[in-house]
Amino acid sequence: MNGKDLWNALGEIDPKYIQEAEELPKRTHSLRRGMQGMAACLAIVLLSTAIMAPSLLYPSWSGWSGIGELMPEHLQWLGGLLDGAPQQTEISSGGVMSISLSQVPVNQMELPEPASSHYPALMEEDRTHWTKAQAEEYYGLDFDVLSVPVGMEAVADLSGGMDVWINQDGSMRFDGLLLRYEKDSGEYPSGTCPSLTLRASKIGLLEASLPVYETDTVQTWEFQGTQITVGLCQPEVYDETGASTESYPVYVLSFTYQGAQFQIEGVRTDLAEMVRAAATLLSGEESVEVKP
């Protein structure tokens, strides 16, 4: 059979069979694409359920935070929806830093000991006076942004600089920084007036006055990469007969920043005031909103 005979034979075939033969590959291709689309949708639904189920059952569980980074690039939008771990800090639309107190664990501590007065021998000839700018460069912070509770006045600050003692070999002998603010109206028992005190040292001068906590497990609050330990105690005030007349809060926030130890102690302050003080100091932001 030559080509002409084959052509004539094909001409005898019913046209509907030819049309069906031409449409069969198209229908098969369309069906295959439809099945692939359904499979992709089903996979996304199953993945979403598997990832979101733990968070729905256990709201505090954040084990899937960062799942978006593990997804292929074209599916990372889905990971962005699924990454729902709560953030400790955020910047609101108004540009004000916002912090939730629910993210700040408070540890019960014993009444802190007074700051150690057993400093190394300080020779007058080794004393050096630093300006405020030199002190801030040494500690790497702007102390003007430190939030101080309303009504407290400075009794020790950096307006006149600070004294340090440097050994003849150039090593630091004493670098104790002390900033203190008080509200002493005479209505509080001696030594218990509302106050905010900040101490700092790069050579371990605060080691002797570190807080002692009542539990073996001490939780920390992470703020912009700095681990901050928050301690609270409630000392009592006694009258002449030895009877307790009241108790008041004392907070101590301890952290290390750029190689220096810091302590912020607040007497008769609340947690929001203490968190705001630490956040303004470490972030350099003068305005910080603290929410419940």
Contact 82, 52 (CB under 8 A): yes
What is the β-pairing status of strands 250-257 and 260-267? antiparallel
pLDDT of residue 66: 47
- Residue 265: partners with Cβ closer than 8 Å, 6 or more residues away: 112, 195, 196, 197, 198, 199, 250, 251, 252, 253
Which one is predicted more confidently, 144 or 79? 144
Q: Output the CA torsion sign for 38, 44, 50, 53.
A: negative
Over residues 134-140, the mean pLDDT reads 97
pLDDT of residue 6: 37
Q: In what order do the strands lie in the sheet with 172-174?
A: 127-130, 162-166, 172-174
pLDDT for 147 beyond 90: yes
Mean residue pLDDT of the chain comes to 78
- Number of helices and strands in the chain (H, E): 6, 16
Question: Could you give the C-alpha distances from 32 to 38, 42, 44, 160, in angstroms and in order?
Answer: 10, 15, 19, 80
The type of residue at 228 is I
pLDDT for 8 beyond 50: no
Percentage with pLDDT > 90 across the chain: 54
Residue 36 — pLDDT band, cuts 50, 70, 90? low
Which one is predicted more confidently, 94 or 180? 180
Least confident of 36-45, 249-258, 267-276: 36-45
Which one is predicted more confidently, 97 or 134? 134
pLDDT single digits (tens) 204-224: 999 888 899 999 999 999 999
Question: Rounded CA gap, 202 and 166, in Å?
Answer: 13
Over residues 90-101, the mean pLDDT reads 74
Percentage with pLDDT > 70 across the chain: 66
pLDDT for 259 beyond 70: yes
b/e map of 218-256 (b: 16 or more CB within 10 Å)? eeebebeebebbbbbbeeeeeeeeeeeeeebebbbbbbe
- Among residues 99, 63, 100, the alpha carbon closest in space to that of 83 is found at 63
pLDDT single digits (tens) 98-136: 999 999 999 999 987 766 555 678 888 889 999 999 999
pLDDT for 233 beyond 70: yes
